[in-house]
């Protein structure tokens, strides 16, 4: 059966109305569920637009427009809040991919992406800042403990007394993590 050619703008208007309705339903705004007729109309419109003969095969354009609408919705505050704030602790605390692991393994690019995601959310950076502070404090504590051990053993190295080594290492630690803060 041959069907009438659906132009991109005409078909996208129909799909956009369906997307708007779906958003309202997902956000629990007053909206009736999709009727069978609405579902079939959306399905048929999309199917026909993707199977029309060139130059009227709009599958790539529909994919691009839908991806754009989806990304816009995902980055909206409600969804972003759900994904990034409600699940912040499990996401940031993962042993092999959470914030601590990224700091431990010096994954600066991944930390930068994490910053870009969370800085858009009110108070979104607080858990990251707390983890960062704890990580730097722990590293500093290790340096102090190493200096205390060296001093109690009266050990000196070729690079100077334990106090000088400690000061040099603390400055290196400061410079390393200061770059994290200023580069993001």
Nearest Cα to Cα of residue 180 among 134, 113, 117, 111? 111
What pLDDT does residue 154 have?
A: 60
What pLDDT does residue 160 have?
A: 59
Structural domains present in the chain: 8-74 (no CATH), 84-183 (1.20.1310.10)
User: What distance lies between CA 145 and its chain's CA centroid?
Assistant: 36
Inter-residue contact 56 to 5 (CB < 8 Å): yes
CA angle 90, 111, 109 (to 5 degrees): 135
CA-CA distance, 99 to 172, in Å (whole number)? Answer: 21
Q: How does pLDDT run across 113-171, given as a tens digit for each residue?
A: 889 888 878 888 888 999 999 999 999 999 999 888 888 876 554 555 778 888 999 99
pLDDT-derived band at 2 (thresholds 50, 70, 90) equals low
pLDDT-derived band at 77 (thresholds 50, 70, 90) equals low
Structure tokens, 99:
């914030």
State residue 157 phi and psi, 5-degree precision. -110, 175
Q: With 70 as the cut, is the pLDDT of residue 66 above it?
A: yes
């Amino acid at each position: 059966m041959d069907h009438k050619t659906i132009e991109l703008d005409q078909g996208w208007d129909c799909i956009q109305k369906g997307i708007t309705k779906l958003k309202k339903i997902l956000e629990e705004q007053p909206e009736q569920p999709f009727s069978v007729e609405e579902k079939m109309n959306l399905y048929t419109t999309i199917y026909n637009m993707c199977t029309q003969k060139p130059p009227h095969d709009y599958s790539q354009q529909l994919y691009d427009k839908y991806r754009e609408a989806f990304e816009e919705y995902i980055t909206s505050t409600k969804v972003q809040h759900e994904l990034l704030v409600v699940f912040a602790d499990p996401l940031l605390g993962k042993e092999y991919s959470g914030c601590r692991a990224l700091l431990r393994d010096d994954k600066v690019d991944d930390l930068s992406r994490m910053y870009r995601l969370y800085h858009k959310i009110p108070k979104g950076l607080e858990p990251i800042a707390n983890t960062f502070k704890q990580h730097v404090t722990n590293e500093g504590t290790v340096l102090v403990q190493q200096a205390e051990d060296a001093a109690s053993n009266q050990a000196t190295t070729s690079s100077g007394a334990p106090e000088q080594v400690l000061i040099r290492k603390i400055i290196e630690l400061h410079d390393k993590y200061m770059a994290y803060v200023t580069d993001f």
